C-alpha cells in the first residue's frame, strides 16, 4: 500500500468555527487582574485597546465560536495547510514511529501567525479602528499583522525586539512591503522605550518591553488599538484552525496521535495545534494522549518558572496573568528563536500544564539547530528556529521508539519556515552558535519584582 506524503483537505473543509477549550476544562485559569486595581478584569476594561468582537471571545466559555465568512475567505489564500507524513525522516532515523507534521510555512507571511492576525484586523476594521500597534519577537507576528492590516485597509505599527531587528532585517522589509512602520524596540517612539534606553542603551530588548511600547502607543492614541500575537485566550482560539484541520486529515487516513509536540514562547501555535486533541483527553475520549511543550533552555518559563500572577509586559500596563513566569522584568539572552523569548506563557496552557494534562521540556539552541539540519536533510524544509525545538523532541521520541521497538504516531505543528533565519543557520554551521545557561540569578532578581496581589 502506498503511503501518502501529504494529506490535503479541500477549501470547503476550512473550519467554520474556532474551538474554545474552556468549554471542556474541568477547572478554568484564575481570571486576569486589572494592573491598576488588582481586581479581576471586567470586559469593559479591555475596550480601550481591543474591539468588542475580540473582548467577547476573550471571556467566552462557549465551545464553538463561528468564523466570519470574510475571515474564511482570506484563509483560502493558504488554508487548509497540508499534513505531511515525514517518511524520509522516519527512514533516516530507522524508527517504527509514524511522524506527521502540519506545515504552516505556506501562508504569505510564512508561519501560523496570520490565522489570528487576519481575524484581529477584521474585528478592528468592523469597529472603525484605523491603526493597530503590536510587538514582535522573531518578526513572524509583526509580518502577519502587517499582512492582516493590509488586507483590511488598516495602518500597522510594529515594535520589533532589538535582538531580532538586528538579526532579521528581511522580516522588517517584509513588514514594510505590506505598509507597516517598524521600530527597533526599545524605541524613542514611546515614553517607556525612552526610559529603558536611558537605563541600558545597549539592551537587546525583550517581548515584554515591546509589548509595553505597543500598549502605550495604542492607549495614547484614539484611532489605534493594540493587537497581540500570543498568550491571550482569543489568540489561541483563532489558532485552533490548525488542530481542527489536523484532526480532519488524521480522520481521512484513519490515524490519531499518541504524542503531540510543539514549541512554546507565548503558546499560540502549540495550543492552536493541540487543543482540539487535548479536548478529547479532557472529555475522556483519549485519556492516554501525551502532549509536550518544547521551550528554550535560555528562557524556560514552563520548566523553571513559578506559577504565579505576573504582569504580561515589562511596564506593568498589561493585565496581570496567572501563569508560569520568569518575572516580567527578566530579559532573556539573545537566542535566535526570538519568538520564544517571553517571560511567561498563555494562562490556558499554563493551567493545563499545572493540572497535569500536558508536560514541558527545554533544550539548548545548538541541539535544536542540529535537529533542524537533520530535518532539512530528510524532509527538505528549512524551518524556523522556533519550530526546531519540537523537531528535537520528535527525533528523541522517534529514537526511543526505535530502541524499544515501539510503534507510535507522533504529531507536531511545524509553525513556520526559516528562510529569514539563515544567519542563525550560518552561525550553527560555522560552529559559532552559543548555548545560554538558565540565568538563575537574573530570574531571582526578576521574580522579586512580581506584583503584590492581595
Give the domain 6-13+69-110+233-447 fold: Rossmann fold (3.40.50)
Confidence (pLDDT) at 452? 86
Confidence (pLDDT) at 32? 95
pLDDT tens over the chain, length 454 residues: 457 789 999 999 999 999 999 999 999 999 999 998 999 999 888 888 899 999 999 999 999 999 999 999 999 999 999 999 999 999 999 999 999 999 999 999 999 999 999 999 999 999 999 999 999 987 889 999 999 999 999 999 999 999 889 988 999 999 999 999 999 999 999 999 999 999 999 998 888 889 899 999 998 999 999 999 999 999 999 999 999 999 999 999 999 999 999 999 999 999 999 999 999 999 999 999 999 999 999 999 999 999 999 998 877 888 899 999 999 988 887 777 767 878 899 999 999 999 999 999 999 999 999 999 999 999 999 999 999 999 999 999 999 999 999 999 999 999 999 999 999 999 999 999 999 887 788 888 888 888 988 7
CB 104 within 8 A of CB 350: no
Domain layout of the chain by residue ranges: 6-13+69-110+233-447
CB 331 within 8 A of CB 203: yes
Amino acid at each position: 500500500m502506498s503511503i501518502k506524503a501529504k494529506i490535503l483537505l479541500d477549501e470547503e473543509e476550512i473550519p467554520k468555527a474556532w474551538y474554545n477549550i474552556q468549554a471542556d476544562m474541568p477547572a478554568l485559569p484564575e481570571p486576569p487582574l486589572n494592573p491598576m486595581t488588582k481586581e479581576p478584569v471586567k470586559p469593559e476594561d479591555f475596550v480601550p485597546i481591543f474591539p468588542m468582537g475580540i473582548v467577547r471571545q476573550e471571556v467566552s466559555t462557549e465551545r464553538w465560536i463561528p468564523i466570519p465568512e470574510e475571515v474564511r475567505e482570506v484563509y483560502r489564500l493558504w488554508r487548509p495547510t497540508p499534513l505531511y507524513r515525514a517518511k524520509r525522516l522516519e527512514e533516516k532515523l530507522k524508527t517504527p514511529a509514524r511522524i506527521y507534521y502540519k506545515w504552516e510555512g505556506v501562508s504569505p507571511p510564512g508561519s501560523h501567525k496570520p490565522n489570528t492576525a487576519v481575524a484581529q484586523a477584521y474585528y478592528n476594521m468592523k469597529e472603525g479602528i484605523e491603526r493597530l500597534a503590536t510587538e514582535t519577537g522573531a518578526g513572524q507576528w509583526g509580518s502577519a499583522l502587517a499582512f492582516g492590516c493590509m488586507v483590511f485597509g488598516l495602518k500597522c505599527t510594529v515594535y520589533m525586539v532589538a535582538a531580532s531587528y538586528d538579526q532579521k532585517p528581511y522580516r522588517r522589509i517584509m513588514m514594510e512591503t505590506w505598509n507597516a512602520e517598524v521600530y527597533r524596540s526599545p524605541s524613542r517612539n514611546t515614553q517607556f522605550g525612552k526610559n529603558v534606553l536611558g537605563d541600558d542603551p545597549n539592551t537587546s530588548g525583550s517581548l515584554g518591553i515591546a509589548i509595553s511600547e505597543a500598549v502605550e502607543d495604542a492607549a495614547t492614541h484614539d484611532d489605534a488599538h493594540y493587537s497581540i500575537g500570543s498568550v491571550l485566550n482569543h489568540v489561541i482560539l483563532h489558532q485552533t484552525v490548525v488542530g481542527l484541520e489536523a484532526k480532519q486529515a488524521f480522520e481521512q487516513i484513519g490515524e490519531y496521535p499518541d504524542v503531540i509536540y510543539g514549541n512554546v514562547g507565548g503558546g499560540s501555535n502549540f495550543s492552536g495545534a493541540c487543543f482540539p486533541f487535548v479536548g478529547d483527553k479532557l472529555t475522556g475520549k483519549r485519556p492516554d494522549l501525551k502532549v509536550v511543550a518544547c521551550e528554550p533552555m535560555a528562557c524556560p518559563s514552563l520548566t523553571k518558572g513559578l506559577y504565579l500572577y505576573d504582569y504580561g509586559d515589562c511596564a506593568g500596563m498589561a493585565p496581570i496573568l496567572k501563569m508560569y513566569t520568569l518575572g516580567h522584568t527578566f530579559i532573556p539572552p539573545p537566542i535566535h528563536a526570538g519568538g520564544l523569548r517571553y517571560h511567561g506563557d498563555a494562562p490556558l496552557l499554563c493551567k493545563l500544564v499545572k493540572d497535569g494534562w500536558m508536560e514541558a521540556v527545554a533544550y539548548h539552541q545548538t541541539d535544536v539547530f542540529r535537529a533542524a539540519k537533520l530535518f532539512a536533510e530528510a524532509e527538505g524544509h528549512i524551518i524556523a528556529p522556533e519550530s526546531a525545538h519540537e523537531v528535537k523532541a520528535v527525533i528523541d521520541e522517534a529514537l526511543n521508539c526505535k530502541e524499544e521497538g515501539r510503534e507510535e504516531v507522533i504529531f507536531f505543528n511545524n509553525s513556520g519556515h526559516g528562510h529569514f533565519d539563515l544567519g542563525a543557520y550560518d552561525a550553527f554551521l560555522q560552529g559559532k552558535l552559543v548555548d545560554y545557561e538558565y540565568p538563575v540569578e537574573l530570574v531571582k532578581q526578576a521574580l522579586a519584582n512580581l506584583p503584590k496581589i492581595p
